């Protein structure tokens, strides 16, 4: 910033002054003074906006309408527009406004020489009535082509995990002319658009380190060097084994570090130990390299024993063929037991080739708690069939040559960058349109309230309800831990999804040996093993019972492992064949947030399933009708997020979509680390294979109070039915009351209906669990309410996907975190008075008589109370009158 531009000095000086001022403004308000790095260039442009606005992370974005960075004829060459869709997962700034370009358009930023992050924000919504799937355009920055014939719509649809918006991040070196031109160029007969542009400088040697830092190249003798003629695109930046680190919590460059679990092969291998050690940065790994939270969390293979020799700890990433990729692996030994050389040594493979035969983190770093990173370059050629996208494998495997103390591997963080081709281009093809998930376009903003047509959940109350509740309660599997399993150490999270197999010190008599492949993971148990695990099914070991049979707690592997054993009643309708099919399907599902099937037993005509044991029981056990202490709001948010991730995986992670069909608080279990796991998807239905068909027609099943009203009406099951039920669970978590409480005034009986009503009326704070008094930040509550409301929309098509819900919840957590950081005094955080008056028994019999006395599910339309309840949309149709086998699940 110390040089004047050779183009038009006066303008540039002015711009500099302005940008300095903005910079000053921004750094003084938002950059934490303690950030390890303070950017010298920092621009945030909210495109399509004419004023400056603050984003959810409290950064100030300038409108581009009168910006110095926009060309003077901006009004004649482009048009501002506002997104016509709203999505709870998409933040207002900078996503809700866009600038549309019918022809070439260039923004020019005055920046200092050196490497910069360029972030382009896209939200493919409808703007000015234009169908966004028809927008194709190219973007270049300086001499580098970043995107060619790019479709934000197709690219967003192809994201894993699916997200409704895109943030494309590039690393560009600016030369001494000190300007960065960003050019948008629509494809023929198309238009270009952009929602936001962010430019942030970075330390000189962070990624582009020049000839002094040769980088080993996979399968090549010559090392690779990256100089300032090369531009990079960030494809993945992961806080391995940890949580999302939002831009605000980065080291000053606003990089986002995401979770690695979507990319783990086998969905859930390994363990995620973390420890709050003080990370000691060094000259080689300065503090700005990555935030300490990245280094204090990790993923390892786990048990430190020879089981780990059966598999590679593997991540899989989709990349474009025909490019070179830079991998940066961040390591830090954080476990107390690893402090010396040759304790943990492992090999790094990239695309099945050895990238590094021997990584010994302590040897490289010198000590526990000292971070390091290692770079590798790998060339991904066009495949045989010249597919444009392919999978890139990163795998870690214990290196036994040096006879290390532990048989294990570790990774703390990962960044993957694409390097420009020799012609300077970074552009790859758009992803193929995705067909596996029938993705409805996101709804128009529902300015109009739903006409009073539906929300008939309430109608299920009545005579039917008693029996139903019994069934629902009987279906509950209660997993309670009686004694603690031998633990491997305080900092090693004992992970319950790791395949149970040879445990140190125990002999195994099983026929199958665990191997690395998920299909081999499902273990066959003999009936004698099961009998000895449960002391011959003694009642003392019984922890639950239901229509399907009983659930027992059991100890296997010589008592080392606690499991839950579900013995299906041989009289139950499920045939042995179905049982087999189910095992086949379930054993392939592995995810941190799903209760895993460990094995089965089909000897002697038995139908027995063996699952992970969940020490903390069901979510409901911690919400109401319980002696357990109340969960904190933060805990509740994390649990909801975990469960949402589990459902998202069911919907999109497997080959065929799986619809749970019975999402409720008793089917969300908690392990000893309070990690939420979705359970009981055994009777789930796989979704349609065929894209054209968007639903499965089935007999309505599910639990009362949770069932999607649309599913009732149409008998057609879509994944959005799970979204609805999950919305009810979110309300349960917020209000700590059951989905249905009979005996309340009728408008309050159904939590879904009542909660939505209160939200509309703005009285949601009055039904919040009093235990949460003073814990919920108002902005977080607002976001949470938005998510709930959108999940409970009457029409499935208007509800968000589980991916949107995941994003929304992550965002709510960020809001809560931000507010907690800024909270000085108790302030006006939700403090609740009298909210549980709603839980006192109803006195207004009149209101409720319609369903109470008749014992049918029909509501009487004429007798509503004075309040504006009708506006919520409780209609009087008889949609429920032909109800439903109450024994259905």
Least Cβ distance, residue 221 to ligand NAG (angstroms) = 18
| Residue 681 near residue 611 (C-beta atoms within 8 A) | no
Q: Which of 76, 507, 690, 825 binds ligand NAG (CB under 6 A)?
A: 76
Least Cβ distance, residue 374 to ligand NAG (angstroms) = 18
Of residues 324 and 748, the one with the C-beta less far from ligand NAG: 324
Q: Which of 32, 227, 284, 603 binds ligand NAG (CB under 6 A)?
A: 227
By CB under 6 A, tell whether 352 contacts ligand NAG: yes
Tell me the chain's radius of gyration from C-alpha atoms: 28
CA gap 355, 351 in Å, rounded: 9
By CB under 6 A, tell whether 725 contacts ligand NAG: no
CB atoms within 10 A of CB 883: 20
By CB under 6 A, tell whether 419 contacts ligand NAG: yes
Phi first, then psi, for residue 135 (nearest 5°) are -95, 120
Least Cβ distance, residue 331 to ligand NAG (angstroms) = 19
The two tokens of residue 29 are 């308000």
Of residues 327 and 555, the one with the C-beta less far from ligand NAG: 327
Least Cβ distance, residue 176 to ligand NAG (angstroms) = 5
CA gap 152, 707 in Å, rounded: 35
By CB under 6 A, tell whether 113 contacts ligand NAG: yes
Least Cβ distance, residue 763 to ligand NAG (angstroms) = 24
The piece of 277-285, 346-354, 471-479, 840-848 that touches ligand NAG (CB under 6 A) is 346-354
* Strand pairing report for 668-670 and 676-678: antiparallel
CA gap 821, 440 in Å, rounded: 38
The piece of 39-47, 422-430, 546-554, 712-720 that touches ligand NAG (CB under 6 A) is 422-430
For the chain, the first-to-last Cα distance in angstroms comes to 68
Number of residues that bind ligand NAG (CB under 6 A): 40
Of residues 229 and 628, the one with the C-beta less far from ligand NAG: 229
CA gap 292, 279 in Å, rounded: 6
By CB under 6 A, tell whether 516 contacts ligand NAG: yes
Cβ-Cβ contacts under 8 Å for 270 (sequence gap 6 or more)? 241, 264, 299, 300, 301, 302, 313, 495, 498
By CB under 6 A, tell whether 696 contacts ligand NAG: no
Which residue stretches of 338-435 are H helix?
361-365
Site string for ligand NAG, 799-838 (x = CB under 6 A): -------------------xx--x----------------
| Residue 462 near residue 852 (C-beta atoms within 8 A) | yes
CA gap 208, 203 in Å, rounded: 10
The two tokens of residue 297 are 């969390």
Active site residue 540: no
CA gap 422, 431 in Å, rounded: 23
The piece of 68-76, 495-503, 610-618, 634-642 that touches ligand NAG (CB under 6 A) is 68-76
Q: Which of residues 638-677 bind ligand NAG (CB under 6 A)?
A: none
SS3 state of residue 806: helix
Of residues 171 and 639, the one with the C-beta less far from ligand NAG: 171
- Catalytic annotation, pick one of 46, 320, 662, 794: 662
CA distances for 18 relative to 43, 199, 427, 562, angstroms:
11, 15, 33, 64
SS3 state of residue 705: coil
Q: Which of residues 19-58 bind ligand NAG (CB under 6 A)?
A: 29, 58
By CB under 6 A, tell whether 379 contacts ligand NAG: no
CA gap 324, 655 in Å, rounded: 29
Q: Which of residues 123-182 bind ligand NAG (CB under 6 A)?
A: 136, 143-144, 149, 173, 175-176
Of residues 146 and 668, the one with the C-beta less far from ligand NAG: 146
Q: Which of residues 303-322 bind ligand NAG (CB under 6 A)?
A: 310-312
CA gap 764, 756 in Å, rounded: 8
Site string for ligand NAG, 394-413 (x = CB under 6 A): -x-x----------------
By CB under 6 A, tell whether 103 contacts ligand NAG: no
Q: What is the largest CA-CA distance in the chain?
A: 89
- DSSP lists the bridge partners of residue 118 as 170, 199
Which residue stretches of 78-151 are H helix?
92-95
Give me the count of residues in the chain: 889
CA gap 830, 733 in Å, rounded: 15
Of residues 7 and 536, the one with the C-beta less far from ligand NAG: 7
Q: Which of 351, 495, 503, 562 binds ligand NAG (CB under 6 A)?
A: 351
CA gap 479, 671 in Å, rounded: 9
Q: Which of residues 766-805 bind ligand NAG (CB under 6 A)?
A: none
Q: Is 566 flagged in the annotation as binding? A: yes
Least Cβ distance, residue 212 to ligand NAG (angstroms) = 9
Residue numbers of the site for ligand NAG (CB under 6 A)? 29, 58, 72-73, 76, 113-114, 136, 143-144, 149, 173, 175-176, 187, 210, 227-230, 310-312, 324, 349, 351-352, 393, 395, 397, 419-422, 424, 430, 516, 818-819, 822
Active site residues: 662
Binding residue positions? 566
Binding residue positions for ATP? 566
């Amino acid at each position: 910033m110390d040089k004047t531009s050779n183009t038009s000095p006066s303008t540039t000086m002015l711009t500099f002054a302005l940008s300095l001022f903005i910079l000053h403004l921004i750094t003084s308000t938002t950059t934490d003074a303690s950030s390890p790095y303070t950017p010298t260039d920092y621009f945030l442009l909210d495109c399509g906006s004419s004023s400056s606005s603050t984003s959810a992370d409290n950064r100030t974005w300038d409108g581009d309408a009168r910006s110095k960075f926009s060309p003077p004829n901006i009004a004649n060459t482009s048009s501002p527009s506002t997104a016509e869709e709203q999505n709870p997962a998409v933040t207002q700034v900078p996503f809700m406004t866009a600038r549309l370009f019918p022809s070439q358009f260039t923004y020019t930023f005055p920046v200092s020489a050196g490497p910069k992050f360029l972030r382009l924000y896209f939200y493919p919504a409808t703007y000015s009535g234009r169908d966004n799937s028809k927008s194709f355009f190219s973007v270049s920055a300086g001499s580098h082509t970043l995107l060619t014939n790019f479709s934000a719509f197709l690219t967003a649809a192809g994201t894993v995990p699916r997200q409704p918006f895109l943030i494309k991040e590039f690393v560009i070196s600016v030369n001494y002319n000190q300007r960065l031109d960003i050019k948008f160029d629509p494809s023929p007969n198309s238009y270009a658009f952009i929602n936001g542009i962010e430019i942030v400088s970075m330390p000189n040697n962070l990624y582009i380190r020049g000839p002094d830092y040769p980088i080993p190249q996979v399968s090549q003798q010559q090392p690779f060097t990256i100089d300032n003629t090369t531009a990079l695109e960030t494809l993945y930046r992961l806080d391995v084994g940890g949580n999302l680190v939002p831009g605000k919590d980065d080291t000053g460059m606003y990089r986002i570090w995401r979770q690695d679990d979507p990319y783990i092969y086998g969905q859930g291998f390994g363990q995620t130990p973390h420890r709050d050690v003080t990370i000691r940065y060094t000259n080689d790994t300065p503090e700005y390299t990555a935030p300490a939270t990245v280094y204090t969390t990790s993923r390892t293979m786990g048990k430190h024993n020879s089981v780990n020799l059966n598999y590679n700890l593997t991540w899989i990433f989709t990349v474009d063929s025909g490019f070179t990729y830079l991998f940066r692996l961040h390591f830090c030994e954080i476990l107390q037991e690893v402090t010396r050389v040759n304790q943990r040594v492992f090999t790094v493979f990239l695309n099945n080739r050895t990238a590094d035969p021997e990584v010994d983190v302590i040897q490289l770093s010198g000590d526990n708690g000292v971070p390091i990173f290692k770079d590798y370059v790998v060339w991904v050629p066009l495949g045989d069939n010249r597919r444009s996208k392919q999978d890139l494998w990163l795998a870690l495997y214990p290196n036994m040559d040096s006879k290390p103390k532990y048989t294990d591997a570790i990774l703390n963080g990962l960044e993957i960058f694409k390097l420009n081709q020799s012609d300077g281009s970074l552009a790859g093809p758009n992803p193929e349109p995705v067909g596996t998930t029938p993705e409805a376009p996101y709804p128009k903003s529902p300015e109009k309230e739903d006409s009073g047509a539906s929300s008939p959940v309430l109608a299920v109350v009545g005579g039917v309800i008693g029996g139903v509740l019994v069934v629902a309660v009987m279906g509950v599997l209660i997993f309670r831990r009686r004694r603690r399993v031998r633990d491997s150490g305080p900092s090693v999270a004992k992970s319950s999804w790791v395949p149970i197999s040879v445990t140190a010190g125990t002999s195994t008599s099983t026929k199958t040996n665990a191997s690395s492949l998920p299909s081999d993971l499902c273990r066959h148990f003999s009936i004698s093993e099961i009998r000895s695990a449960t002391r011959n099914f003694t009642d003392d070991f019984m922890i639950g019972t239901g229509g399907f049979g009983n659930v027992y707690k059991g100890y296997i592997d010589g008592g080392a492992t606690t499991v839950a054993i579900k013995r299906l009643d041989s009289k139950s309708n499920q045939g042995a064949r179905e049982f087999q099919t189910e095992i086949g399907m379930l054993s392939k599902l592995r995810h941190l947030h799903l209760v895993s099937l460990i094995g089965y037993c089909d000897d002697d005509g038995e139908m027995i399933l063996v699952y992970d044991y969940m020490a903390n029981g069901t979510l409901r056990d911690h919400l109401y009708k319980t002696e357990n202490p109340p969960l904190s709001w933060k805990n509740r948010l994390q649990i909801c997020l975990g469960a949402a991730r589990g459902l998202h995986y069911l919907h999109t992670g497997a080959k065929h979509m799986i619809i749970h069909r019975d999402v409720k608080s008793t089917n969300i279990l908690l392990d000893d680390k309070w990690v939420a796991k979705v359970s009981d998807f055994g009777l789930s239905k796989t979704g349609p294979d065929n894209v054209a068909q968007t639903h499965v027609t089935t007999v309505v099943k599910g639990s009362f109070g949770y069932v999607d009203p649309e599913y009732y009406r149409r008998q057609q099951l879509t994944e959005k039915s799970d979204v609805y039920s999950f919305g009810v669970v979110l309300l349960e978590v917020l209000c700590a009351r059951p989905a249905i409480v009979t005996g309340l005034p009728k408008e309050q009986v159904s939590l879904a209906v009542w909660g939505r009503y209160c939200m509309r009326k703005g009285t949601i704070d009055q039904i919040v669990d009093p235990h949460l008094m003073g814990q919920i930040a108002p902005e977080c509550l607002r976001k949470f309410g938005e998510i709930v409301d959108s999940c409970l929309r009457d029409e499935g098509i208007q509800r968000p996907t589980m991916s949107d819900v995941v994003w929304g919840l992550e965002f709510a957590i960020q809001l809560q975190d931000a507010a907690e950081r800024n909270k000085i005094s108790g302030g006006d955080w939700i403090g609740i008075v009298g909210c549980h008056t709603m839980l006192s028994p109803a006195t207004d019999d009149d209101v409720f008589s319609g369903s109470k006395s008749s014992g049918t599910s029909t509501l009487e339309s004429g007798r509503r109370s004075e309040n504006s309840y009708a506006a919520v949309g409780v209609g009087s149709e008889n949609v429920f009158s032909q109800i439903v086998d109450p024994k259905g699940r």
